[in-house]
Structure 1
Amino acid sequence: MNGRIMIVEDERIVALDLCQTLESFGHTVIKIVSSGEQAVSDGPSLKPDLVLMDIHLDGKMDGTEAARVFQEHNIPVLFLTAFAGQSMLDQAEKSSPYGYLVKPVETRALQATVRMALARRQAELDVEKGEERLRLAVDVAGLGVWEWDAAAREFIGEGQFEAILGHMPASLDDADSGFLTRIEPAYRSAIADALTRGEAIRTTVKLRQAPDTGRNGWLDFHARAFTGPDGDLGRAIGVIRDVTAQRNQEDHLRRAAVVFTSTGEGIAILDAQRRVVSVNPAFTEMTGYSESDVLTREPDDFLYARRHDDSFAAKLNGSDSDFWSGEVACVRKDGTLLPSWQHLCVVRDAQGQVGNYVLAISDTGALRRAEAQINHLAFHDTLTGLGNRNMLEDTIEKEIERANQNGSRMAVLFIDLDGFKLINDTMGHATGDQLLSEVARRILRVLRRTDTAIRLGGDEFLVVVPEVARLEDCASLAEKLLCEIRSVVELEHERLSVSASIGIAVYPDNATDFNDMIKAADSAMYGAKEHGRNRFAFYSSEMADRAMERLYIEQGLLRAIADEQFVLNYQPVVRLEDGQLLGFEALIRWDEPTHGRIEPDRFIPVAEESGLIDYIGSWVLHTACAQANTWIAAGFTDLRLAVNVSARQMRAGDFDTIVRDTLAATGFPAAQLELEITESTLQSVDRSRELLGRLKALGVMISIDDFGTGFSSLSLLKHLPIDRIKIDRSFVQDLPDDANDVAVTEAIIAMAGSLGLALLAEGVETPAQQQFLRARGCADAQGYLYSKPLDVHDVDLLIASPSRGRLS
Structure 2
Amino acid sequence: MPHSVHIMIVEDERVIALHLRKQLEKLGYERTSAHTRGSDALAAIHDDPPDIILMDIRIEGDIDGIETAAGIPSHLMIPVIYLSAHSEDATLARAKITRPYGYLIKPFSDRELHATIQMALERRAAELALSESQHRLSLAMNAAQMSCWEIDVLTRQMHCTGLGNPDLDQNVETVTESWDAFLERVASEDRDMVRKAFAYAVSHGEFYDVVFRSLDKDQNYRWLRARGKSFGDDRKGSQRIIGMMQDVTDQRLTQDKLREAMTVFETTQDGILILDPDLNVTNANNAYYRITGETEENTLQKPPYFLSANEHPAEFFQELFSGLGARRQWHRDLDTHNANRGPISLSLQNIAVENEEHELTHYVMIVSDRTAIRQAEQELHYLAQYDGLTSLPNRLLATDRLNRAIERCEPSGMMVACMFLDIDDFKTINDTLGHAAGDQVILIAATRIKGITERTDTISRLGGDEFLIIRENIPNETAATNLAQKIIQELQRPFYIRGHEMNIGASVGISLYPVHGHSSHDLIRLADTAMYAAKDRGRRTFALYEAEMTANAAHYMTRSLELRRGLENGELVLYYQPQFDGKTGEMAGVEALLRWNHPTHGLVGPHEIIPTAEKSGLILEIGSWVIREACTQARRWQDQYGQKLRMAVNVSVRQMQQPGFADSIADQLAISGLPAEDLEIEVTESMIQDEISMIQTLHDLRAVGISLAIDDFGTGYSCLRSIKSLPISRIKIDRAFVNGLPGNSNDVALINAILAMAEALGLSVTAEGVETRAQYDFLRDVPGIKLQGFLLGKPVPAEDVFTATIGKTKQI
Q: Same fold (TM over 0.5)?
A: no
From the CA coordinates, give the structure whose radius of gyration is larger: 1
Question: What TM-score do the two structures reach when normalised by structure 1?
Answer: 0.41
TM-score (normalizing by structure 2): 0.41
